[in-house]
Amino acid sequence: MHFLLPVFFALSAALSNAFATVLQRRAALSVPRSQGFRAGLILDLLRRPVWLAGILTVILAGVFQALALVTGALTIVQPLFVLELPFTLLVASLFAHHGMPRLAWFAVAGVVAGLGVALAGASPSGNRTRVEIDRWLPALAVCAGVVVVLSLVALKRPEGRARAAMLGTAAAVSYALTAGLMKTAMHILADDGLVAFFLSWQSYAFGAAGVAALFLLENAMQAGPLVASQPALTLGDATVSLTLGILVYEEHVRAGWWLVPEVLGIALIVTGVFALSRIPAADSPRTPEEAARGHADAQ
């Protein structure tokens, strides 16, 4: 039960995020684009019912993620979010009223198999519930620096794959940081109550990181096709979360010869994610304007 609960909640969060991604993508493509970060983007999106539906789904995903993090280790919960991309493709296919090609199903099988092999090899353990600020400061500084650098470089690039990938990676770092901070905040809520939760710096920090992640994700969705932003988001989130789990929360993964199945599993995941991101359904839904631009977006 100790293992099943966080897995169930993490899978529920990944599926909810998949619905949110499709809904937010539809909304992001329906508002004016900008060469830089535009403060009015969120105001424009607020007028789109489909975006509001996506935000409600994001909130639901956040609840599931919080439950997963309070019941399981960061190194168990966050890697399961690589399944968000297969879920996103399935949801996008449903919205587009067409099935996924056979290649997509092989890629999904590769991601699922790779995840199983990697987690079985790593056998994550440890579930530290509190991390003090002195352990967080270096991680916060590095993550914030990476996000700022990626964002500044992305702003100098035109619309297309490179810009979308950089913003997707920045969003991934922000989401991983959100998850790491949320874990401590949720344990404070569970152990010490609502007052302690609102008095803890982690509660406000994960809220700020989450808002930044959402803003970066919306800009990544506008900057280029999902074939660029989604792999960066999916793999980046899992990688940074694993790093935070090991370095900040002192969780453990097996080393030695266990690295062989771990590397094999990671290779299957990466191969499957990139294959899935190139499936046409990964860019669904597309607006007429985006379909007309086609090759320009791919550059």
Q: What is the mean pLDDT of the chain?
A: 81
Of 105-119, 146-160, 272-286, give the lowest mean pLDDT range.
272-286
Q: Is the peptide bond before 86 cis (omega within 30 degrees of 0)?
A: no
Does the pLDDT of residue 287 top 60, yes or no? Answer: no
17-38: average pLDDT: 66
Phi and psi at residue 125, in whole multiples of 5°?
Answer: -140, 165
Domain boundaries, the chain: 4-288
Quick one: what percent of the chain has pLDDT higher than 70? 83
DSSP letters along 175-199, please? HHHHHHHHHHHHHHHHHH-HHHHHH
- CA-CA distances (angstroms) from residue 11 to 1, 65, 106, 177, 232? 15, 9, 20, 19, 20
- Residue 47: burial class (beta carbons within 10 Å; 0-12, 13-18, 19+): exposed
Q: Three-state DSSP class for 125? A: strand
Return the amino acid letter for 143: C
Write down the pLDDT at residue 43: 64
216-243 residue pLDDT tens? 987 887 777 766 777 888 888 888 998 9
3-state secondary structure of 252: strand
Q: What's the CA gap between 112 and 133, in Å, rounded?
A: 36
To 10 degrees, the CA torsion angle through 279, 283, 286, 290? Answer: -100
Measured CA distances, 282 to 8, 285, 293 (Å): 25, 8, 17
Rounded Cα–Cα distance for residues 63 and 59 (Å): 6
**Per-residue pLDDT at 209 exceeds 90:** yes
Q: Residues 68-99: pLDDT tens digits? A: 988 888 888 888 988 888 888 888 778 777 77
Quick one: pLDDT band at residue 105, thresholds 50, 70, 90?
confident
Interatomic CA distance for residues 22 and 88, integer angstroms: 7
Residue type, 15: L
Chain centroid, CA 120 distance in Å: 22
Q: Note the maximum CA span of the chain.
A: 55
End-to-end CA distance of the chain: 47
